[in-house]
A and B are shown apart, each in its own frame.
Chain A
Amino acid sequence: MPNTDQRSAHRPPAHGIEEGDHPLPGWWSVAALVSAVLAFGSLFLSVIRPDLTDPAASYERAVTAELQAQFAEIGNLAPTAGTLGSFITDPEKGRWLRVGEAIFTANCVSCHGSDGAGVSGPNLTDDHYIRVRELTDVADTVIGGSIAAGMPAWKDQLSMNEIVLVSAYAASLRGGFVDGKEPDGEPIAPWFPGSAD
């Protein structure tokens, strides 16, 4: 770009700052053009392929993929005594109990303690229970909660598979007798009447 500026001819800088008139460097214009193309490209892509660029859409894909990866093996679980019991007793399903433990650590330890020994919520490692009488009651309490006991309802926060796994993990803590909160409620029969437990 030719230096066509005549400023210095009719403006001696009384304020003491002179102005050079170097043109913009060559790389600058090239880089600006490339960036403009990229900017338009990114905008164009978000208009024609929102499924690729929209974070909500990619989140949905991630959830689906994760559910498939995570639960393809076990399918959709229902909170029955048989299902819950199988996760507690079957050593081959021990991996799923670890998933239940992770859900427990993320959501339950603020009241039940990291070892299940109870903080403001009851101790889960003893034989005393407030509302629970049999195995399915554990899942029902997780699902519906109990305002009187201060237990939140989790049916909107966790998926049914997650509820089953966390209930199985919580039930499996029974019998550990970790020192913690004093027993609340009444002693109940073992989960599996047939076993020596």
Chain B
Amino acid sequence: MSSERRQDAAPAGPAGSTGLWLDDGPTRRFLAACWVWGLAALALATLAGWSLLHPELADDRPALGFGRLRPLVEMLLLHGFLANGFFALVHHSTQRLCCAPMAAGLLGRVHLWGWQLALAWATWTVGGGALEPRLLSPAEAPVDLALAGLWTLFGVQLLVTLTRRRQRYMYASLWFYLAATLLFGGLQVTATLASFHHPIFGVPLFSGAADAALQWWYVRNGAGALVVIGLFGVAYDLAPRIAAAPLYSYRMGIVHLWSLLLIQLWVAPRHLHLSPSPGWLSALALAFAFLVWLPSASGIFNLAATLRDGRQGQGEREPARAFLVAALFFFALAAIEEPVLALRRMSAAVGSTDWVEGHQEMLFLGWGAFVVFAGSYWIAPRILHAPLHSPALARAHFWLATLGVLTSAAALRFSGAAQAGVLGALSPDGHLLHPEFTEAVARVEGHRLLHVAGLGLFLAGALVGAWNLLRTWAARPSAYPSIPVTEPPLEPMAIAEEAPAPPAGAVLDGGRRLQVFCTLWWHRRLERRPLRLASWIVVAVGAVAALQLGPLLRAEPTAVASLTPLEAYGRSVYEREGCVTCHTQAVRPLLADTKRYGAISTSSDPVERGPALWGTRRVGPDLAREGGRRSTRWQVLHLDDPRAASPGSLMPSYRRLLERPRDLPRLVQRSGFTKRPEWAADAAAAQAAALTAEFEAQHGAPLLRPGAGAPAALEGSEAIALVAYLQQLGLPSSEIPFSTAASEQP
């Protein structure tokens, strides 16, 4: 690192320079962070897959439970691996495309180290069992706030760099960086708002369908902005350089960007098909699914044609080219799958199975990780000023990663299809052919083992890659040579873009104008005005968001669930322990669903305050109508030893909840009775005592503390709160013995 400081401190460069140098220091550091987080995330992903085969691992070690590991893995893959890779590649590419250094300085250092600290903090809290049940954003509100703030710093750096650029027109990659940064930043800020509570009423700002739509917007249009828009920007930079050929088509890039913003964003609510969200949302998602191939196909075609026309992979071009070609191939597979999954019939079949994870994994590992790998192999020799240590090892990495992605993709799709077959099968008489949920679990055990094997191959490949890059780093020169900026600063624009003359053929005035518009001449004007381009991106995204999310955020729920203080506390336990990772709470309008889980979840069901717990994937059964279906005795014994109560289950023991006492401030805060804390505490104690008495009457004896002979402190535990929450799920409030009204009796 001392060499870099020397380079910064002594800007006496070669003759003819402008006194400015490109700085690859942040690129090197972000790339190192990317690989460290990436290896950690892949190792944890393999472990998470393994814990699904051996739930007993987590009986005494809650951090190894799938419910916590899976959200942690998703977060580390997105915010640790892919985001750091994006930062590294954007730092490298933006400086070169702008012919100017990145506006980094103190902001840059805060962004670099702050991001890693925030991730370490998030890992600590999520692994320690303080989850927020939000898709891809499992850390609690302060971490969300930190990430939003740090991302804003990055956005500021990018915009300032663009305004100081020494190239008149911004190249396509820069438009994509700008769009990805604005979109992810906007969604991160919104997700942060959603994690905080209403300043006056103390309840979360979003609930029910609005919150569910917001969660999917975060996944599809926030994380999607980073993974798809951002990394396509990177690929637009990599492909022509690797191929040493011109970009195939400038105008296809324009169509790609704007169709991403104006079409792709609409498809996010396809994940809410068959859920208790408004029907128009799902109808719009279905309609736009017919068009969603437009952005994908233009991006894939443009870059594939660029690679095809350029030099084939030999020597130092080989690893980067191979990874980029494979990335485009895997992206094409996911893009073909996307509109198929958007069909309601397909969604009814494989929705909430392992297939859902398979689609996301294809985008994160098959596309995202492969672009980061391609970028790493391309920039490593350039930022480290040393040739790649071993092309043979890079080849090994490529084949291990490709085999890994294909194996785990196939495993998850076969597994999803098998689950759909078992859980959806009805006999001609109309009854469930496989009434026990655990039959589906047993059926996919082999597939899940194959998935772990695929992830293991991918991890092995990444370890080989990391070793290769580490050896390349070891061979770096003692001082990095400086890269001077040779371009002069931009002068005021002499020529303004003008619309081309309308072609002679058109007759109508409107037709002429359309033809002139279709030459895309106006885009050039945007390409030299980063702030105006940014504003138009904000206008486009804002319009789609306002049309789609606006009505949801304004709509009042038809009924609000009135949870007692104890039940509200139970919901907080449900959220914190990551139950939503494996259990959905949304019965779909399908015969197989209602026969298995009870009546359909509809928009007129009472809405619980707080993040929607609709979930995405049924590793275990749906719980929307769990209330009253089983005895309190069964629920308590099941938390204690799930695989004894339900043989073949994948649930680890939550015995620790039986021993952990309830936290009074949390109870008061979650119940919403901050003005009457004693009342909330008394009501919770009364309900807990009644439920414990019910348990003891059914069990015939108090629950014994496992191992010891003494009775467990069930009454004061978190477990009894969780059972209270589960026992009211889906019941009309009049049927619940301890509704708020009942508890208010003296």
Q: Hey, which bits of chain A sit against chain B, CB under 8 A?
A: 1-2, 4-5, 7, 10-11, 13-25, 28, 31-32, 35-36, 38-40, 42-43, 46-47, 50, 53-56, 58-59, 62-63, 66, 69-70, 95, 98-99, 102-103, 105-107, 109-111, 114, 119-121, 145, 147-153, 156-157
Contact = CB atoms under 8 A, between A and B. Distances in A.
21 contacts: A1-B519, A14-B99, A14-B167, A16-B241, A17-B97, A17-B171, A17-B240, A18-B246, A20-B249, A22-B248, A28-B301, A35-B293, A53-B283, A59-B600, A106-B431, A106-B435, A114-B436, A120-B634, A150-B698, A152-B628, A152-B630
B215 interface: no
B305 interface: yes
Given A15-B97, A111-B634, A42 B521 contact: no
B59 interface: no
Contacts of A17: 97, 171, 237, 240-241, 246-247
Size bin of chain B's contact surface: 35 or more
Interface of B: 96-99, 166-169, 171-172, 237, 240-241, 246-252, 255, 273-274, 279, 282-284, 286-288, 290-291, 293-294, 297-298, 301, 305-306, 344, 348, 427, 429-432, 435-436, 486-487, 495, 500, 503, 518-519, 521, 524, 588-591, 594-596, 598-600, 602, 625, 628-634, 637, 645-646, 694, 697-699, 731-732, 735, 737
Contacts of B645: 110, 119-120
A45 to B, nearest CB: 9
A59 B290 contact: no
Contact of A5 (B250, B590, B646): B250
A151 B629 CA distance: 8
A147 B628 CA distance: 10
Contacts of B503: 2
Given A39-B288, A106-B435, A150-B634, A4 B519 contact: yes
A38 B297 contact: no
Contacts of A150: 631-634, 694, 698
A197 B432 CA distance: 32
B628 A55 contact: no
Contacts, number: 193
B290 A106 contact: no
Contacts of A22: 248-249, 251-252, 305
The 6 A-B residue pairs with the shortest CB-CB distance, nearest first, are A150-B631, A59-B589, A106-B435, A150-B698, A102-B431, A18-B246
Given A46-B287, A102-B435, 10 more contacts: A4-B519, A10-B495, A15-B167, A16-B96, A19-B247, A20-B249, A25-B301, A42-B290, A70-B430, A102-B431
Nearest to B237: A17
B569 to A, nearest CB: 22
The CB with the most chain B CB atoms within 10 A, among A24, A70, A114, is that of A24
Nearest to A67: B430
Contact of A32 (B96, B294, B625): B294
